[in-house]
Amino acid sequence: MSDQRHDARYQARGVSAGKAEVHAAIDRQDAGLFPGAFCKVVADELTGSAEHCIVLHADGAGTKSALAYLAWKEGFPLATWRGIAQDSLVMNLDDCACVGALGPYLVSNTIGRNARRVPGEVIAQIVAGYQSVCDLLTTRGIRCVMTGGETADVGDLVRTAVVDSTIATRLRRDEVIDAARMVPGDVLVGFSSTGQAAWETTPNAGMGSNGLTGARHDLFGADYRAKYPETYAPETTSELVYCGPHRVGDPLPGDPAFTVGSAVLSPTRTYLPLIAALLAELPRSDIHGLIHCSGGGQSKIVKFGAAGNRYVKDASFAVPPLFAAIKEATGMGWAEMYGTYNMGWRLEAAVPAARAEACVRIAKGCGIEARIVGRIEGGAQGREVAVTTPDGVATYR
């Protein structure tokens, strides 16, 4: 299947990795105090301090909650839902950490459910999942406070559950990591999304919370189409719904420690303790950029840095078994894979070459494999990313 055909399949399911229409809709909004930063940073209007700024961020677990619902119905434990809360929260926290914000964080959660299908015991697990992440980070010196939230019964709008969250934090303006500082000569250090970090209780297959609509339908089998019509949009062409070779309980090819379902549902790893360790040892001025490789996968970095930057990633991590299974199930080209999924590292740092060894060492102390995955060159028209894949170089602009 060509990348163009796969992209058409993705669009036909009502989703987009690039979200061009969304970006066009917000194009005229004020970019904040640091237009080149990984997420929007605004003036501290709460206290009026000219030395401080505010980061307010909203995100969620996306369609991963639909897979959690299906897996739960297929016999996965009720606690599976706790991971969905972690997905929602980490997608906010790690974005904020990429601008150097290390808390305290104030957390509000928003859950929309179809009460006929999602009972109170599920909501209790989701709320407990939020609290467990906050407790974990707080015990590691990164204060994270639940402030409440909203659970709405919106069955007319939501077929299973939507799990979103919003966080707010404050930091000094001179502490902001502004990805606009990424320059030719920097190296790119990637931090693995797989394995088991020091703060994790089980290994992680590396999925995160992006690309779930494609992964869910292309990995799992057609009998789910009839059994769980509430887990997909009825407007979607039936041939694009649960058209894969696996059941959620099948062993993951290449790593039988996981089932295919548990691999895709691996809760999104937070890199916050690692980022805190990096910032504790290295001068912030030497961390030119932190990139959370979420929507857009390994092409994400193309949105940041100076015009003319060419991000060359020619020493990627080995392809993790989960992503190999997705490729096998879809026939997707490597360029589309690397432009959709993190492919084994969901965080990368742009630093001077002299700081790379320290980054790798600090990550090792956190139980995370790290390596120099590439470098920044000049001479691009605009900005571009060149990723060496098993099938040659894929270029993104």
Which pLDDT score, from 0 to 100, does residue 3 have? 47
Which pLDDT score, from 0 to 100, does residue 63 have? 97
CATH number of 3-396: 3.90.650.10
3-state SS of the chain is: CCHHHHHHHHHHCCCCCCCHHHHHHCCCCCCCCCCCCCCCCEECCCCCCCCEEEEEEEEECCCHHHHHHHHHHCCCCCCHHHHHHHHHHHHHHHHHHCCCCCCCEEEEEEEEECCCCCCHHHHHHHHHHHHHHHHHHHHCCCCEEEEEEEEEECCCCCCCEEEEEEEEEEEEHHHCCCHHHCCCCCEEEEEECCECCCCCCCCECCCCCCCHHHHHHHHECCHHHHHCHHHCCCCCCHHHCCCCCECCCCEECCEEEEEHHHHHCCCCCCCHHHHHHHHHHCCHHHCCEEEECCCCHHHHHHHCCCCCCEEEECCCCCCCHHHHHHHHHHCCCHHHHHCCCCCCEEEEEEECHHHHHHHHHHHHHCCCCEEEEEEEECCCCCCEEEEEECCEEEEEC
Task: Give the residue ranges of the chain where pLDDT is below 50.
Answer: 1-3, 5-6
Which pLDDT score, from 0 to 100, does residue 1 have? 40
Which pLDDT score, from 0 to 100, does residue 31 have? 86
What confidence tens digit (pLDDT) does each residue in 152-190 have?
Answer: 999 999 999 999 999 999 999 999 999 999 999 999 999
Which pLDDT score, from 0 to 100, does residue 29 have? 75
What confidence tens digit (pLDDT) does each residue in 315-338 have?
Answer: 999 999 999 999 999 989 999 999
Which pLDDT score, from 0 to 100, does residue 105 have? 98
